[in-house]
């Protein structure tokens, strides 16, 4: 439970990084191009939050001393899985919600539990 709580706090900070990037990118991309660019905006914002999450989960949540590059590659793989889940959820709800923050929110939330458990039991499995 303690690790999950820490993971949640780190995830919340990554969520904020993700939201800020998503919002800034939406302001830069013209309205008429958003449906075409949504996946690109979503991916950039998601990966920005993911880099932040990896760093803080490694040093604080799981206190890992494992091989940073190997763990980083695993974490990135899990993030890619969560990204695919998020994009699928976004694609499913966007006909009703559009390509705005509500769609982004549902897509982002979709991968939280998968992200935690796969990282805990695969990426950082050597950490007690």
Q: In tens digits, what is the pLDDT along the chain, a chain of 128 residues?
A: 788 899 889 989 998 999 999 999 988 877 666 666 878 888 889 889 988 999 999 999 989 888 998 998 998 899 889 888 888 888 899 888 887 888 888 888 887 777 888 888 898 887 65
pLDDT of residue 16: 94
* Predicted local confidence at residue 32, as pLDDT: 65
**Is 0.85 surpassed by the pTM of this model?**
no
Q: What's the pLDDT at 35?
A: 65
pLDDT of residue 33: 62
- Looking at residue 24, its pLDDT comes to 93
Secondary structure (H, E, C), the chain: CHHHHHHHHHHHHHHHHHHHHHHHHHHHCCHHHHHHHHHHHHHHHHHHHHHHHHHHHHHHHCCCCCCHHHHHHHHHHHHHHHHHHHHHHHHHHHHHHCCCHHHHHHHHHCCHHHHHHHHHHHHCCCCC
């Amino acid at each position: 439970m303690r690790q999950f709580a820490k993971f949640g706090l780190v995830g919340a900070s990554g969520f904020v990084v993700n939201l800020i990037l998503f919002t800034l990118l939406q302001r830069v991309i013209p309205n008429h191009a958003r449906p075409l660019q949504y996946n690109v905006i979503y991916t950039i914002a998601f990966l920005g939050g993911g880099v932040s999450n990896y760093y803080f989960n490694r040093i604080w949540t799981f206190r890992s001393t494992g091989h940073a590059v190997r763990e980083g590659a695993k974490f990135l793989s899990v993030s890619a899985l969560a990204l695919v889940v998020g994009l699928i959820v976004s694609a499913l709800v966007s006909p009703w919600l559009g390509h705005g923050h509500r769609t982004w929110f549902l897509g982002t939330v979709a991968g939280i539990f998968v992200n935690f458990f796969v990282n805990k039991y695969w990426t950082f499995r050597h950490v007690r």
